[in-house]
Structure 1
Amino acid sequence: MEFWKLFVTALMPVLKVLFLTAVGTILALDRFGILKKDARMHLNTMVFFVFIPALALSNLAEAITFKSLVMLWFMPLNILLTFIIGSALGWLLIKITRAPRHLHGLVLGCCSAGNLGNMPLIIVPAVCKERSRPFGDKDACNRNGLAYASLSMANSKANDVDDSPMNLVSLPETGQENTSTCPVGPLVSAENVSQANDFASGLEIEIARPDGVAKSLQVTKQAKVRKLLKKSAEKINLKALLTPATIGSIIGLIIGAIPQLQKILVGENAPLHVIEDSISMLGDAAIPAMTLLVGANLLNGLKGSSMQFPIIIGIIIVRYLALPAFGVGILKGAIHIGLIHHDPLYKFLLLLQYALPPAVSISTITQLFGAGVGECSVVMLATYVCASASLTLWSTFFMWLVL
């Protein structure tokens, strides 16, 4: 396909994103006051708990089968690689620019976490609808593309989970030690000392007493180990790990992987297709709602901040030059080894994951903790403005590469 046709095909989805983002920004202006802070909070809650899970569930249930699920195993690894490489480049950027300590987490987050949520969900279906049909049949492309993007979104949500959000945005430096983020205390607590003494005493008694008593003590130690494992399991935050998007994706994968369930729920002839249709209608609201929120949140960046210009330029270089280049190399290597099946749409999405702007959730976390809000808004504004050109050019190149 000619390069110019590919360029136009890649440009249309980006223009759609820009249009919806601009509408979100306008709605957040004081003159209109529709997407004020409270409205954005409520809309974000609806997106997080209702729209995104419904979108992931309906898309995966319709397009994913057990066979295709096995073939898509490389996608979680690919997303993990984007985080690892982005974090390494972000650390290098911090060293080069000597970024202030309280911005280290922000820089790392913007370099490592891409917008794997709504961006692929907008770009991939829009590319499928173009007249040039770069990826074949419109309906099949749209169905498979939404499934790939939904699986990508589920993986990104799982990777974004962190029980210590302060790792992303550190509190500004003051003249005093910050005991909340860097706790100072005894290396060994009194409880640990007591447990160690009890264990040592048990060993001494075991040596001194007959075999029968030693076996009894061994059982007691096993009970202590089980108790310790139980306490450790209770500390795991399952609520954080099982986000609504992840739960919706799991249910969708189960329905898709079990043919009997898919026949009952999915398709016009399915007895319970009304359930899947209703969930699909809810999911359709996710894409415009998320994009409007992106535009509304970017409004804060227009107010400016004291963010250092070299840091902004560095983040743009990492996200739009270095990471996509790494992505091309990784995909070429994976194809050469035989790790990826030959689906141009799937390859395109894998490459696209390296060229996306920073995740919107970074802005949400900074607002939640009140640290680096102004700096984050400026970074988001700059990166999303540059994304209009960068995404178009990289998408054109990616399509030329995989077709």
Structure 2
Amino acid sequence: MGATINLLVMASMPIAKVLLLAAIGSFLGLDHVNILGEDARHHLNKVVFYVFNPALVTSTLAKTITFESFLTLWFMPVNIFITYLLGSILGWVLIKITKAPRHLKGLIIGACSAGNLGKLPLIIVPAMCREKGSPFGDVDVCQSYGLAYASLSMALGNFYMWLYTYNIIRIFSRDVIDDANHPEVGDESFGNNTEFLLKPTEYSLMTPNNKIPMSSKFQQLLSQFSGKINLKPLFSPSTIGVLVGFMIGLIPPLRKLLIGNDAPLHVIQDSAYMLGDATIPTITLILGANLLLGLKGSQIQFRIVIGIVATRYILLPLLGILIIRGAIRGGILKCDPLFQFILLLQYAVPPAMNISTMTELFGNGQSEYSVILLWTYGLAAVALTLWSTIFLWLVAS
């Protein structure tokens, strides 16, 4: 009983720190304070996106990644892919159960599949390393590797988010606009009205019996898909930071040149670390300020919000435990407690904050997602504490 209480206290401390900083951010975002108003958050987000995040990712990966450790990290992109796959399936089931309006379908799938895979682990894991009785060993080693794992999680999460979530929301948002311009299409998702999607010149591909050859159908579907998918956002600063960090860590001459107190150019690494240290407090303050938007309310059905909460805080963590424990027992994954904890945590985090940026970009679902963020992050204090306690018990056992 005493050990369980210790684990609960250990798990709750990092969450309490997040809540404290988020509360300060919410205070700074109030209208009568207006230090973190809309314009300030917009510019500060740019600094985080273009400067702080890449600096943190590059510096931590460059210092901790070696060829040996690189071979143990292959499961993380697989694990994140599984979280997106399961979240998308559960999100689609939620859409069918709640009969959600069409303009929210992409938003629901995105909220269920794309978790906060970088920012919260970056806050939670180093804080747990400093707690007394941590199962992750030496504090300095734990913090160093914990930041590297969390930074890689953040970069991979960004990659999946801009490849998949961005385009899901983009496709459904564009379909809503297309329907407004062509009301005769109906309320089905894209691709069901193939003839409507054909360009006039493509009607020559149709055979006399009004059927399109299979090869032509494939070409048309491929063209439609490539036309709807935008790959440019994949090349984000954090993704570039991952590539640079891996290059420095895995190429011995670069590593000797930049890493360590005796390295000739260690000042570059030290400067990157200084910038990276600003990431965690800054993103937490912004998170708190953004949560105020949800207080204004929206027309979203409350059962949709409940479904997203249940998906992210009940179904996905349970499935994550089965997958990770199964991978360990099957010999696919080594039993490194810290790495295992990061993988489990990826199933229990709230929806990604970057989705709100996507809704603003496409002008669809801003107020609805603000409400989703308010409830999911408000309940994260309880959910993350409980699941972190369970995960700590699992990795320590």
Which residue, out of 270, 273, 276, partners 2:266? 273
Cα displacement (A) at 1:187: 2.5
Alpha-carbon distance in 1 for matches of 2:29, 2:21: 13
Task: Tell me if 1:399 matches 2:392.
Answer: yes
Query: Structure 1 residue 62: deviation in Å?
Result: 0.6
Alignment of 1:210-225 (within 5 A): none
Q: Secondary structure at the match of 1:323?
A: helix
Instruction: Give the equivalent residue in structure 1 for 2:89.
Output: 88
Could you tell me which residue of structure 2 aligns to residue 68 of structure 1?
69
Q: In the TM superposition, what is the alpha-carbon distance from 1:260 to its structure 2 partner? A: 2.4
Within the candidate set 356, 362, 370, 1:369 is matched to 362
What is the CA distance between 1:308 and its match in structure 2?
A: 1.1
- Structure 2 equivalent of residue 217 of structure 1: none
Aligned equivalent of 1:257: 250
Residue 208 (structure 2) aligns with: none
Cα separation, 2, equivalents of 1:30 and 1:254? 45
1:117 maps to 118
Quote the offset at 1:155 in angstroms: 0.5
Q: Describe the shift of the 1:401–1:289 C-alpha distance in structure 2 as closer, same or farther (beyond 3 A).
A: same
CA contact (8 A) 2:175 2:190 kept: no
Structure 1 length normalisation: TM-score? 0.85
- How far residue 161 of structure 1 moved from its aligned partner, in angstroms, is 1.3
Residues 168 and 263 of structure 1: is their aligned pair in 2 closer, same or farther, counting only changes over 3 Å? farther
**Equivalent residue of 1:2, what SS?**
helix
1:166 pairs with 156, 170, 185, which one?
170
Report how far residue 273 of structure 1 moved: 0.7
CA distance in structure 2 between the partners assigned to 1:365 and 1:234 by the alignment: 18
Does 2:145 align with 1:144? yes
- The superposition leaves residues 258-296 of structure 1 with CA deviations (integer Å, 9 ceiling, x where unpaired) of 222212211112111111000111111111111111111
Note if 1:177 corresponds to 2:178.
Answer: no
1:93-112 aligned within 5 A: 93-112=94-113
Does the 8 Å contact 2:7/2:393 carry over to 1? Answer: yes
Question: Aligned-pair distance for 1:171?
Answer: 7.1
Q: Is the 8 A contact 2:103 2:172 kept in 1?
A: no
Any idea what SS the aligned residue of 1:161 has?
helix
User: Which is further off, 68-77 or 167-176?
Assistant: 167-176
CA deviations on 1:15-65 (whole Å, 9 max, x unpaired) are 111111111111111111111111111111111111100000000001110
Within a 5 Å distance, the mapping from 1:174-253 to structure 2 comes to: 177=182, 185=196, 187=198, 190=201, 239-253=232-246
% identity of equivalent residues: 54
Q: Secondary structure at the match of 1:8?
A: helix
Corresponding residue of 1:221: none
1:213 corresponding residue in structure 2:
none
5 Å-filtered alignment, 1:335-374, equals: 335-374=328-367
SS of structure 1 residue aligned to 2:135: coil
- Kindly indicate whether the alpha-carbon contact (under 8 Å) linking 2:14 and 2:123 is maintained by their aligned counterparts in 1: yes
Cα distance in 2, alignment partners of residues 190 and 370 from structure 1: 32
Query: What is the rounded CA distance, in whole Å, between the counterparts of 2:230 and 2:360 in structure 1?
Result: 22
Question: 1:214 is matched with which residue?
Answer: none
| Structure 1: runs of 5 or more not aligned | 195-231
CA contact (8 A) 1:344 1:402 kept: yes
CA distance 1:359–1:235, shift in 2 (3 Å): closer
Q: 3-state SS of the aligned residue for 2:256?
A: helix
Of residues 281, 292, 313, the one that matches 1:288 is 281
Distance change in 2, residues 1:332/1:343 (3 Å): same
Q: Which range is displaced more, 339-348 or 365-374?
A: 365-374
Call closer, same or farther: CA 1:399–1:384 in 2, change over 3 Å: same
Looking at structure 1, the residues matched to 131 and 173 of structure 2 have their Cα atoms a distance apart, in angstroms, of 40
Q: Please, what TM-score do these two structures have when normalized by structure 2?
A: 0.86
Q: Give 3-state SS (helix, strand or coil) of 2:33's partner.
A: coil
Deviation of 1:191 after TM superposition, in Å, equals 7.8
Q: Distance in 1 between matches of 2:233 and 2:343?
A: 26
Aligned residues: 365
The RMSD of aligned alpha carbons is: 2.5
1:152–1:41: structure 2 CA closer, same or farther, 3 Å change rule?
Answer: same
After superposing the two structures, state which structure 1 stretch, 77-86 or 308-317, moved more.
Answer: 308-317
Of 274-283 and 298-307, more deviation after overlay is shown by: 298-307
Which deviations, in whole Å up to 9, do the C-alpha atoms of 1:289-323 show, x marking residues without a partner? 11111111111111112221111111110000000
CA distance in 1, matches of 2:228, 2:357: 25
Equivalent residue letter for 2:273:
S
Q: Could you tell me how far apart the structure 2 residues matched to 1:111 and 1:291 are?
A: 21
The residue number in structure 2 matching 1:306 is 299
The structure-2 alpha-carbon separation of the partners of 1:182 and 1:168, relative to structure 1 and needing over 3 Å to count, comes to: closer
Distance 1:193 1:144, change over 3 A: same
User: Secondary structure of the residue that 2:263 maps to in structure 1?
Assistant: coil
CA deviation map 1:129-181 (0-9, x unaligned) = 112232110000000000000111111111011474423656768766369x9
Residue of structure 2 equivalent to 1:227:
none
Change (3 A) 1:96 1:186: closer
* Contact in 2 for aligned 1:79/1:156 (Cα 8 Å): yes
CA contact (8 A) 2:56 2:272 kept: yes
Q: What does 1:44-55 align with in structure 2 at a 5 Å threshold?
A: 44-55=45-56
User: Cα 1:46–1:186, aligned 2, differ >3 Å: closer, same or farther?
Assistant: closer
Letter in 2 for 1:246: T
Does 1:156 find its partner at 2:149? no
How far the C-alpha of 1:237 sits from its partner, in A, is: 6.1
